[in-house]
Amino acid sequence: MVLDALARLAEERVGHRFKGLPPDAADLTVGELAAQRRNLFTDGFTTPVLALSAERLEHNLAALETYAERHGLAFAPHGKTSMAPQLFQRQIERGAWGVTLAVPHQVRVAREFGVERVFLANELVDAAALRWVAAELDADPGFRFVCYVDSVRGVELMDAALDGASRPVDVVVELAAGEGARTGVRTEAECAAVADAVAGSRALRLVGVAGYEGEVPQADPERVRAWLRRLVALAVDFDEAGRFAALDEIVVSAGGSAWFDAVADVFAEVPELSAPVLKLLRSGAYVSHDDGHYQRLTPFNRVPGEGGLEPAFRLWTQVVSRPSAEQAFTNAGKRDAAYDLDLPVARVVRRDGVERPATGIEVTGLSDQHAWLRTSSEADLEVGDWMGLGLSHPCTSFDKWALIPVAEADGTVVDYIRTFF
């Protein structure tokens, strides 16, 4: 089923719906266009166009697979980053346990493309969505679904919506990362109350504990590790209290893209419990990495001997105005580039097939369809030049592009990634 669904993506017509693609390819299917192996720079692609590096994408997929294996971690990368079933499949082929998601629509996308294991990193209280999940569980004995609970009220709403379901929905109690953090239960006593409510539910089954260390206030290695040890201690306390009786697996889960080294260290300390422990890491931004926020925060900066990630995105835009020696404008803006954490970074300039570093060029702002550039005396920049921008924050880069070319280093486009936001 999954391969059939992915194959059908290649049957979509290119047309006007997908920006940046060659106008003369409008009558082709995505598969037909991919088979032509056009060059991103010389075969009709229009700017702005976002591309993924084929080589760097493969490098990043391999890097986290290796890291997870080395540290005995199961891996459910957060799919909200890309919402690209083709990438979900590549991650699963690279050893991922399943896919983490955030909201019901994302789960529906994953299921449409055959994902068999989903970790929903949110409490799910939408009755219609819960009924749909129950129907999926009933229809597919191989489907595994786990989600957060973080309140007694939430447990009550879930139980009511799932009345009559034939399979229980597996849940993990979410421990908040501290006062002022995002979601999650604030104290261990409140965690126990939520667990008691699950025990009294007809439709839920408690299978573990989880949380997100990226929300630890004033996060540093010491504070993050201290919170992770609280999470592990909560799992131990629950187990000693018999809350995981009759389980064949206990879930302990954390891990964004900034502190997975701390997760690996602390999860290595998990003691033997009454059932084997699924130590589930959920980092998602690694798949494309970036040229800003995650480039600064990646744990591979702290543990360089473990490997590394490479920024795989490049937004190609074109200089359309050069009003003065100190200023220029390109034709990519907020509609095209992530800007919620950092502005794009000028990386390279292409002219007449020659690529060089974007020396003396700085992106200072974005309008809807323009990037504002400050240029120094070092900048050799003309109207018509192509500029490659590095982007920060993958989660708000993927969502601006419905079909993304995957290009090799010489510009040959070998695939197209379809996103569903």
203 and 277 co-located in one domain:
yes
86 assigned to some structural domain: no
How many domains is the chain partitioned into structurally? 2
49 and 130, same structural domain? no
Tell me: pLDDT of 1 over 70: no
Which residue has 């997908």 as its token pair? 18
Q: List the CATH number of the domain containing 193.
A: 3.20.20.10
| Residue 203 sits in the same domain as residue 343 | no
Task: Give pLDDT tens digits for 215-251.
Answer: 999 999 999 999 999 999 999 999 999 999 999 999 9
Of the candidates 101, 63, 53, the one whose C-alpha atom is nearest the C-alpha of residue 81 is: 101
Quick: pLDDT tens for 54-109. Answer: 999 999 999 999 999 999 999 999 999 999 999 999 999 999 999 999 999 999 99
What is the mean predicted confidence (pLDDT) over 374-380? 94
Sequence letter at residue 395: C
Do 412 and 327 belong together in one domain? yes
CA gap 169, 127 in Å, rounded:
13
In a domain, 80, yes or no: no
Distance CA 382, CA 379 (A): 9
Same domain, 315 and 406: yes
**In a shared domain, residues 259 and 136:** yes
Measured CA to CA, the distance from residue 351 to residue 382 in angstroms comes to 9
| Residue closest to 169 by CA, chosen among 127, 211, 213 | 127
What CATH number is given to the structural domain containing 329? Answer: 2.40.37.20
Tell me whether residue 72 is in a domain: no
278 and 328, same domain (yes or no): no
Determine contact, residues 212/119, Cβ cutoff 8 Å.
no
- Residue 293 falls inside a structural domain: no
Q: Taking the CA atoms of the chain, what radius of gyration do you get in angstroms?
A: 23
The predicted-structure confidence for 119-131, as pLDDT tens digits, reads as follows: 999 999 999 999 9
Q: Does any domain span residue 9?
A: yes
Give which of 168, 189, 171, 417 is closest to 312, Cα–Cα: 417
Q: Note whether residue 191 is domain-resident.
A: yes
Residues 134 and 276 in one domain: yes
Distances 392 to 62, 175, 207, 294, 337 between C-alpha atoms, Å:
21, 29, 36, 7, 9
Same domain, 277 and 158: yes
| 153-203 tens-digit pLDDT | 999 999 999 999 999 999 999 999 998 889 999 999 999 999 999 999 999
Residue 35 backbone class (left: φ over 0; alpha: ψ -120 to 50; beta: rest): alpha
Q: Are residues 271 and 411 in the same domain?
A: no
Q: Give a yes or no: residue 93 inside a domain.
A: no
**Strand 117-123 versus strand 144-149 pairing type:** parallel
Mean pLDDT over each residue of the chain, to the nearest integer: 97
Enclosing domain of residue 152: 116-283
Sign of CA dihedral 182, 188, 189, 192: positive
Please tell me whether residues 250 and 322 are part of one structural domain.
no
Distance CA 64, CA 75 (A): 9
Pseudo-torsion of CA 56, 60, 62, 66, nearest 10°?
Answer: 150
Report the distance separating Cα 30 and Cα 25, nearest Å: 9
Structure confidence by residue, pLDDT tens digits, 283-311: 999 999 999 999 999 999 999 999 999 99
Q: What is the mean pLDDT of residues 120-147?
A: 98
- What pLDDT sits at residue 151? 98
pLDDT of residue 180: 87
Query: Last residue of some domain: 245, 265, 283?
Result: 283
Q: Is residue 121 part of a domain?
A: yes
Q: Within this chain, do residues 128 and 265 fall inside the same structural domain, yes or no?
A: yes
